[in-house]
């Protein structure tokens, strides 16, 4: 049975500010948090954005996100529970990477999102340094290139 994640309500994401604290569960019902080393957060708030992330990440080896100091966060709060339990979570469990999953619409209230695009949140020492979007696989692959 799928349990609701432990959450802290996050505030808005703003350049120059610390990324709001999140305490969620991943697709395996394990604790999921960003580490101080995280440099990039991929945030998908809609089906098309999630499919874009999966298209890029599902072909990568285990440890790909960690090597790039990146993390993936999926907002599934608008998805019907039956669909989440029956299709979405089993599909995510088959992936070779961790996904932070938000099932409560209040958790990420105030986070800018576009259902069609992946929100890319660049971090420097836990502070948001840049916010951008990836609308295509090429843009997302570019964002995931190793940083110097």
The string of pLDDT tens digits covering residues 67-89 is: 999 999 998 877 767 677 878 77
DSSP lists the bridge partners of residue 18 as 127
What pLDDT shows up at residue 22? 83
pLDDT at 13 over 80: yes
78: exposed, middle or buried (C-beta count within 10 Å: 0-12, 13-18, 19+)? exposed
Number of CB atoms found within 10 A of residue 101's CB:
25
What pLDDT shows up at residue 6? 36
32 vs 1, 23, 24, CA distance in Å? 18, 6, 5
Model's pTM, two decimal places?
0.86
């Amino acid at each position: 049975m799928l349990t609701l994640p432990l959450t802290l309500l996050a505030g808005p994401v703003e350049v120059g500010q610390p990324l709001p604290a999140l305490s969620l569960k991943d697709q395996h019902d394990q604790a999921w948090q960003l580490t101080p080393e995280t440099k990039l957060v991929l945030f998908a708030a809609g089906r098309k954005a999630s499919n874009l992330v999966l298209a890029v990440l599902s072909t990568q080896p285990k440890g790909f996100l960690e090597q790039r100091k990146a993390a993936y966060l999926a907002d599934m709060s608008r998805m019907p529970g039956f669909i989440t339990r029956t299709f979405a979570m089993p599909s995510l469990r088959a992936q070779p990477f961790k996904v932070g999953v938000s099932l409560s619409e209040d958790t990420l209230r105030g986070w800018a999102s576009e259902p069609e695009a992946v929100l890319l949140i660049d971090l420097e020492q836990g502070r948001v340094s840049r916010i951008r979007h990836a609308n295509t696989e090429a843009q997302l692959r570019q964002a995931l290139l190793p940083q110097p």
